[in-house]
Amino acid sequence: MNKKVLVTGGAGYIGSVLTKTLLDQNYDVKVLDTFRYGQNSLLDCCVYKNFSVVRGDCRNEDTLSKAIDGVDIIIHLAALVGAPICNADPVGAQTTNFEAVKLLLSLRKKDQKILFPCTNSGYGIGQKEKYCTEETPLKPISLYGITKVDAEKAILDAGNSISFRLATIFGVSSRMRTDLLVNDFVLRAIRDRYLVIFEGHFKRNYLHIRDVARVFLHGIENFENMKGLPYNVGLSDANLSKVELCHIIKKRIPDFTFFESPIGEDPDKRDYIISNERIEKTGFKTKYSLDDGIEELVKAFNILRSSGFSNV
């Protein structure tokens, strides 16, 4: 019998890719989502007999209780994702990103497995040239990071769970986002042909959205050996500064010009490099490179003429 998976937030940027991936692997997939952005990203999933949808809010006890009923695995993606949207709606951030997790844990049966996407932005500002491992103290510097770190702790403390501390994601989804760093830089390179960078030495790690879907599959398939721990997930060859990222984009888009401003600050102060050794030791290897993502984004932005695909 096929395993039954609930994906909360399954119509979002990650969820839209993950849901289709799970369906193609013959999982029975139920999605719970508010569809707050009016997206139609799951329409091509409706042909699958093993797909169902619950339209509703994960903060509603009755809705969530019905959604988790009968499922074996819960992938809890539902969240206000990113510092800007959390700052714009701090109450929504707290209730969606953390309080809904507490509600989920109170309702789920102990044998129901939980896989959770945290963020490696929880490391905040790392030490110069020192890799952040899963043992590195978490010091989130945004409300978004704080709520996700708090939620991760609650989920891991509850047991029968895995957390993935995801790097900055890039790539194309049917619920597209243009407000993620790589996606944004590539869009500007294509549309404007130039970019002004603030604090271009700040570093972070990156991860293709299809490798996000792959790591959730890996977690499901290797759950018993992996449960109880957080895992950094990113491209081990892509701990890059913003300037280094721009040089890579310029190789694909030669007439792209970028300048590093000597004045001004980036409101996003994250600056760290990440070790992905723990997840790699479980047998997971990323498949999609930064260059793969840039190539597909160039195609996507020849289709999308609007930049209005963001969380705020």
Q: What is the pLDDT of residue 264?
A: 76
Q: What is the pLDDT of residue 307?
A: 61
Task: Choose among 51, 116, 22: nearest CA to 77.
Answer: 116
Domains located in the chain, CATH noted: 4-171+206-236+274-287 (3.40.50.720)
Q: What is the pLDDT of residue 308?
A: 67
Q: What are phi and psi of 17, to 5 degrees?
A: -80, -45
Profile the chain (312 residues) by mean pLDDT over runs of 10 residues.
92 98 97 94 97 98 98 98 94 98 97 96 87 95 94 98 98 96 96 93 95 98 98 96 96 95 79 96 98 97 79 71
Torsion of CA 216, 240, 177, 208, to 10 degrees: -30
Which is it for the CA torsion 285, 80, 74, 115, positive or negative?
Answer: positive
Spatial distance between the Cα atoms of 255 and 250, rounded to a whole number of angstroms: 7
Please, what is the Cα angle at 66 between 60 and 70, to 5 degrees?
Answer: 145
- pTM: predicted TM-score of the whole model, two decimal places: 0.95
Q: What is the pLDDT of residue 14?
A: 98
Spatial distance between the Cα atoms of 68 and 134, rounded to a whole number of angstroms: 29
